[in-house]
C-alpha cells in the first residue's frame, strides 16, 4: 500500500529494486525473534529499525516527517493505527533536524488513517507526515514493528 495524492506522486518513487530488498528483509523466517535495533539492508540507503513499544492514544502522539527517507511501517505483532497527512498542509512544531532527517508537525485539518495488523505495511514518503504507534478503541497494547528507511532524496 502506498498512500499519496496524485500531485505528490513524483516525490514518492521507490525503485522496484529497493522495494525488493525491503520485502526480502520483511519476509525473513526469523522476523518474530529479531532483536530490536538497527539492521542494515543496503548500508545508509536502506536499513531497518526494529522496535517494541506500547501504542498510545492518537492525541498523545505527534505527526512526524522526513525529507530524505521514505518509511515502510511493517507490523510483526500487535496492531497499529497510523495517521497520514500531507506535510505541505502542516505547520512545523519546532526545527527540522537535517542530521536526523526528522521533524515534528502540528495537527492537520485533514488526515487519513490506516490500521496495520501483523503482516501489514504502509509506505510513507517524504511528502506525507505520519503519526505512528497509535492505539485503537481497545486502548494501548504491545506492538512489535519494523520501520524500514529507504533513501529517496
pLDDT (tens digit per residue) in 134-149? 999 999 999 999 999 9
Angstrom distance (rounded) from CA 117 to CA 78: 6
**Percent of the chain whose predicted confidence (pLDDT) is above 70:** 92
pLDDT at residue 2 is higher than 80: no
More confident: 14 or 86: 86
pLDDT at residue 1 is higher than 50: no
The position carrying cell 492525541 is: 59
pLDDT (tens digit per residue) in 27-44? 999 999 999 999 999 999
pLDDT at residue 12 is higher than 90: no
Mean pLDDT (the chain) is 93
Residues contacting 109, CB < 8 A, separation 6+: 89
Angstrom distance (rounded) from CA 32 to CA 80: 16
pLDDT at residue 65 is higher than 60: yes
The answer to whether 151 and 45 are in contact (CB under 8 A) is yes
Amino acid at each position: 500500500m502506498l498512500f499519496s495524492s496524485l500531485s505528490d506522486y513524483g516525490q514518492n518513487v521507490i525503485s522496484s529494486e529497493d522495494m525488493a530488498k525491503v520485502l526480502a528483509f520483511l519476509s525473513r523466517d526469523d522476523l518474530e525473534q529479531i532483536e530490536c535495533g538497527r539492521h542494515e539492508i543496503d548500508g545508509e540507503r536502506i536499513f531497518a529499525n526494529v522496535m517494541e513499544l506500547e501504542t498510545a492514544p492518537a492525541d498523545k502522539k505527534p505527526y512526524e516527517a522526513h525529507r530524505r527517507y521514505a518509511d515502510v511501517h511493517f507490523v510483526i505483532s500487535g496492531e497499529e493505527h497510523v495517521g497520514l497527512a500531507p506535510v505541505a498542509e502542516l505547520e512545523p512544531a519546532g526545527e527540522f533536524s537535517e542530521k536526523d532527517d526528522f521533524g515534528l508537525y502540528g495537527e492537520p485539518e485533514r488526515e487519513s488513517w490506516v490500521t496495520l495488523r501483523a503482516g501489514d505495511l504502509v509506505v510513507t514518503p517524504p511528502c506525507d507526515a505520519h503519526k505512528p504507534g497509535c492505539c485503537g478503541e481497545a486502548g494501548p497494547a504491545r506492538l512489535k514493528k519494523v520501520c524500514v528507511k529507504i533513501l529517496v532524496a
